[in-house]
Structure 1
Amino acid sequence: MSRSRAVGLLLGFAADRLLGDPRRGHPVAAFGRVARGLEHRLHGDSRLRGTVHTAVLVGGCAGIGVAVEHATGGRPLLHAAATAAATWTVLGGRTLEREALAVHDLLAADDLPAARQRLTHLVGRDPTGLPADEVARAVVESVAENTSDAVTVPLVWGAVGGVPGLLAHRAANTLDAMVGHRTARYERFGWASARLDDVLGLPGSRYAALCVLAAAPSRAGEAWRAWRRDAAAHPSPNAGVVEASFAGSLGVTLGGTNRYGDRVEHRPVLGSGRPVRPGDVPRATALARRVDRLAAVVAAGAVGAAGAVVCLRTRRGASWGTRPLPGRRLRERAPG
């Protein structure tokens, strides 16, 4: 199963790079509709209600994944196909790149109003009145954060937990985007979704930052210093790590003032380079693409290697168990 899981992760990653997200009928959109319907029934200014909401939805997706693993167990080709389909469903690296470059193209064409509008496909901040450099900063920050959320973190959970891990993480991450906001409606109800997404993102965000170091070795020192120096000041325990490493690798400064409706956040400065310019968007997407490929290959390779070690140990154990003990054959042949 480990070998078919590794193959499935690579095939699903390749499908995302080639095809991106389907324009219609995306399973994540269907999950969002189910989550919204359940929210209408359960919502209240209560952490308990929010925890139930999260547990039902994330647990349900994990249960579907367990059923898929059980149904395809023992059939490597079918298991690899199911893992590939789940991986393609939850990854979003190609679509992230397309959206980022679409904003860049509008900035390059000096169509700032259209670039601001297109930016809303990537971030939740209010783009009204943002100059071109601030639009570009928002895009680079989104590329960095979502390289972790939409690629490296699901790859980690896919490697560790197979289809259940892939689906459970995507459910938690989607719920965080839907209800994990510090607003009057979701301050308490969305608490469980936000905390669960933080916990699930811890290993994958660090993995993303390590992949940034490896994907751009000539800038690894600056990326490492920005990570160690600046990441902890970010309000997110995961976004800060990957955004800081991207800032150091690209030689730019991220962070600043962001407006979310009536709420204003002053994010800490990440990196020690110059401010972001529109031309940095293609550089950020190119770095993200290298990180994605490296993360997929290493994750699949780790799964395959772990499976090979387990298989080797199992065979050795079986061989030892059937090998006659010293002197046993002689005793058996001795006359009674």
Structure 2
Amino acid sequence: MTPCAAQRAPRRTSGSTPRAVGILLGFVLDRLVGDPRRFHPVAGFGTVAARAERAWYADDRARGVLHTVTLVGGAVVLGAAAERVVPGRAGRMLLTAAATWAVLGGRSLEREALAVHAHLAADDLPAAREQVTRLVGRDTAALDASEVTRAVVESVAENTSDAVVAPLVWGAIGGVPGLLGYRAANTLDAMVGHHNERYERFGWASARLDDLLNLPGSRLSGVLATAAAPSGAGAAVRAWRRDAAWHPSPNAGVVGATFAGALGVRLGGTNTYYGTRVEHRAVMGDGRATEPADIPRSTRLARRVGIGAALVAAAYVASGRIRWPSRRSR
């Protein structure tokens, strides 16, 4: 190769390969192991967040902004510091793999969904109703088998985006700080981002930040769900274009609609939550009502979406961090 040709060749930054490989390793580890039963890092963050809430809670947005910025910012700073001090390329790869595994929840989501399916397959509806409370916050006491199934499929769709695709996106964009910052924001939304008397103002910042951070992940999830179910691709696209905007969440609507179209079922409808809150959500998809066999179908689709997201994230890191020499250096 001539000197001029060498100058024209692209140069990859030193951190791209460890990050790409680390993301893939972390994804594989989640698929093989799932969440740890004890001492989960996300649970530890939740404990810290709960203590912080007790210390500075007030019924106003300013305190909620302080809560969100401090905890999410702290997670980002922690990730950046860890990346800075870890030794060598192998160290960065292992750190990225560990962080990716810690923030992903795909395998555990699949286990919970299939546990509900096992109860339904055994005609044990009361046990299925109890099991599904681990996935959704609805009042499940009066749900029939179809409604239990719908709750599971909707949870699989939404959490595939929130707990698999979106973390991979932010890991590709921001490395370990992106992974930890995203998971911190998502965890805070689950803790305080609710429309109720206590959190309407205090949880506003956490809910809005989570919506913002999930925008790219939900769109990628929709694309991958469409691509992963070729026989239902047209229905998935139609449901996305027609139904997604009617969902109260700018992100859950996208993944719910595309999963409904890809699986050939109807999602959405009336949800009753503990207390007196009832939500009437738009129906998504043109298919039939859900039935128990749709649960393993949804987890298989979610698995394909997760694999696609991991490959996209790694490819983005590997190809998107190329620096071309400036004209002055030629």
Quick check: TM above 0.5? yes
Task: State the Cα distance separating 1:270 from its structure 2 match.
Answer: 0.5
Structure 1 residues 190-269: aligned runs within 5 Å: 190-261=203-274, 262-269=276-283
Structure 1 residues 120-139: aligned runs within 5 Å: 120-139=133-152
In the alignment, which residue of structure 2 is the partner of 1:119?
132
In the alignment, which residue of structure 1 is the partner of 2:77?
63
1:81 and 2:94 aligned: yes
Three-state SS of the structure 2 residue aligned to 1:84 is: helix
In the alignment, which residue of structure 2 is the partner of 1:330?
none
Question: Which whole-Å CA distance do the structure 1 matches of 2:313 and 2:186 have between them?
Answer: 20
Question: Which whole-Å CA distance do the structure 2 matches of 1:231 and 1:136 have between them?
Answer: 20
**Structure 1 unaligned runs (5+)?**
324-336
In the alignment, which residue of structure 2 is the partner of 1:104?
117
Q: Percent of aligned positions with the same letter in both sequences?
A: 64
Question: Which whole-Å CA distance do the structure 2 matches of 1:122 and 1:153 have between them?
Answer: 18
Question: Which whole-Å CA distance do the structure 2 matches of 1:299 and 1:211 have between them?
Answer: 12
Question: Which whole-Å CA distance do the structure 1 matches of 2:319 and 2:203 have between them?
Answer: 39
1:93 is matched by which residue type in structure 2? G
Question: Which whole-Å CA distance do the structure 2 matches of 1:267 and 1:100 have between them?
Answer: 22
Question: Which whole-Å CA distance do the structure 1 matches of 2:137 and 2:184 have between them?
Answer: 19
Counterpart of 1:283 (choices 297, 304, 315) is 297
Question: Which whole-Å CA distance do the structure 2 matches of 1:71 and 1:217 have between them?
Answer: 45
Deviations 1:299-326 (A, max 9, x none): 101111123x32xx24xx59x73x7xxx
Deviations 1:272-294 (A, max 9, x none): 11111111000000000011101
Question: Which whole-Å CA distance do the structure 1 matches of 2:145 and 2:43 have between them?
Answer: 31
* RMSD value, Cα: 1.2
1:41 and 2:52 aligned: no
- After TM superposition, the structure 1 stretch with the greater mean CA deviation from structure 2, 213-222 or 46-55, is 213-222
1:186 and 2:199 aligned: yes
1:108 is matched by which residue type in structure 2? A
Three-state SS of the structure 2 residue aligned to 1:255 is: strand
In the alignment, which residue of structure 2 is the partner of 1:328?
none
1:188 is matched by which residue type in structure 2? R
Three-state SS of the structure 1 residue aligned to 2:209 is: helix
Question: Which whole-Å CA distance do the structure 2 matches of 1:218 and 1:283 have between them?
Answer: 13
In the alignment, which residue of structure 1 is the partner of 2:9?
none
Counterpart of 2:316 (choices 302, 326, 330) is 302
In the alignment, which residue of structure 1 is the partner of 2:3?
none
**Structure 2 unaligned runs (5+)?**
1-14
The aligned length equals 315
- After TM superposition, the structure 1 stretch with the greater mean CA deviation from structure 2, 13-22 or 291-300, is 291-300
1:242 is matched by which residue type in structure 2? V
Question: Which whole-Å CA distance do the structure 2 matches of 1:113 and 1:275 have between them?
Answer: 20
In the alignment, which residue of structure 2 is the partner of 1:166?
179
1:98 is matched by which residue type in structure 2? R
Task: State the Cα distance separating 1:38 from its structure 2 match.
Answer: 0.6
Task: State the Cα distance separating 1:43 from its structure 2 match.
Answer: 1.2
2:277 is matched by which residue type in structure 1? R
Task: State the Cα distance separating 1:80 from its structure 2 match.
Answer: 0.5
Question: Which whole-Å CA distance do the structure 1 matches of 2:204 and 2:46 have between them?
Answer: 18
Question: Which whole-Å CA distance do the structure 2 matches of 1:139 and 1:169 have between them?
Answer: 24
Three-state SS of the structure 1 residue aligned to 2:18 is: helix
Question: Which whole-Å CA distance do the structure 2 matches of 1:72 and 1:301 have between them?
Answer: 23
Higher relative contact order structure (alpha carbons within 8 Å, sequence separation ≥ 6): 2
In the alignment, which residue of structure 1 is the partner of 2:36?
22
Task: State the Cα distance separating 1:260 from its structure 2 match.
Answer: 1.3
Three-state SS of the structure 2 residue aligned to 1:252 is: coil
Question: Which whole-Å CA distance do the structure 2 matches of 1:109 and 1:43 have between them?
Answer: 46
